[in-house]
Amino acid sequence: MFTGLMVGVSGIRGVVGEGMTPEVAMLWSGGFGTWVKGGKVVIGRDPRPSGEMINFAVKAGLCAAGCDVDDVGVVPTPEAALAVERRNANGGIIITASHNPQQWNALKFVRPDGRMLTLQDFKELEYIVTEGPLRSVGWDKLGTVYDWDGADYMYLSSVTGMGILNLERIKSKRFKVAIDCVNGAGSKIYPELLEAFGCDVYPIHSDGSGIFPHPPEPKPENLGDLCELVVREHCNIGFAVDPDGDRLVTVDEKGVPVGEELTLALAIQAILEYKQGPVVINSLTSQVIEDVAQKFGVECHRTRVGEANVAAGMKEFNAVAGGEGNGGIIYPELHLVRDGGVGMAILLNYLSSSKKQVSELKSAIPEYKMLKVSYPLKSSDPEDIIRYLSRCYPYDQSSLIDGLRISYEDGWIQTRPSNTEPIMRVFSEFKTEERASEMMKDLLENINKSVGDDRFQLE
């Protein structure tokens, strides 16, 4: 129905002018206004150039459904999500394509409690959009738009006020911190947050223009400028976020990227030193998180991939920490949303309580080697592949929570159908690259057998 538009639990996204158009944004916003039955809706966005156009369409759709709009402007996703909760809104829409390239934009939908929509929530919204009817009010009941400028203060005071933090101790360290906001939504608020912690801040790519100076995903290969800045200015730590500021990656004092998985591991270890309790991660997050949880004698639960699924699992298990291996740190004391600023605060607090540098803290955590490949489905049914594979591996080591995952003492393998492409995503993580490669080859061979050809060979 929506050509060129990717539709799923994380929202809707597409290339601007193709899948993502003002008409599409207005339709889905009107559907969301129907789903929340009117009332107040918070909207925020990242600064990419198409954002203002989509913003007007979203406001139109919401006002037509009788929703009053609190527009918080250009802010990180976690800040907008927190505003939904603190403003007692019926929901929120965040206009951001996150780590997608410049030509993309998207709508993320937020529940009244500040969490992203669950799968069931999204199915309800999608049904309203595709089947109708949309809520439509008369001229005298149309919603009104209010530009709320209190979001930054709300966010800064909330993060700096978290109970886990020793604010005075952090300030006393006068940390030198470099930060790369990829000219995204965190360009203003995250340097301000670091200054609130008494840091000497060295920002790079933080002009808020929405024009990405390098590929926007905060992967090590995209952080060369930040690494050089850390070394040049003798910084204690470097931080990098994605365009909407919900994912965090660190760089150690030597200018070496810590990586997404180990950044999450360090944050969870810092939280567990403060308070012990269950941890929740998604099915593809590194084994290192389970090792950290085991060190503190707490349970580690896995969910399906997706922030909403992890948040729901954290609520179910009353978790004290959680997240996703892409650098998405979730700390429930504040809210059940991936939050780059919260991650920075927790890591600075951890650094302030330790006599060790970031590189030493990192080296004390086990490291694994993860391999990832994309297996072309062609006309094959992914469910048939999963059923076949489930007979190839020990039942007591297998999980069907998200595709098929097989656990071993020294690692795991997993395959699951992509939500956005006609492929199977295949993963292998073990303590050595040789073992990861061996198990990846075994899994791929079994997938080849299930489809009856050798369409994929690991080089």
- Active site residues per annotation: 98
Burial class of residue 434, CB neighbours in 10 A (0-12, 13-18, 19+): exposed
Question: Cα 252 from chain centroid?
Answer: 22
Give the integer Cα–Cα distance in Å for 12 and 44: 15
**Of the candidates 329, 334, 344, the residue with the CA atom closest to the CA atom of residue 282:** 329
**Of the candidates 318, 339, 323, the residue with the CA atom closest to the CA atom of residue 81:** 339
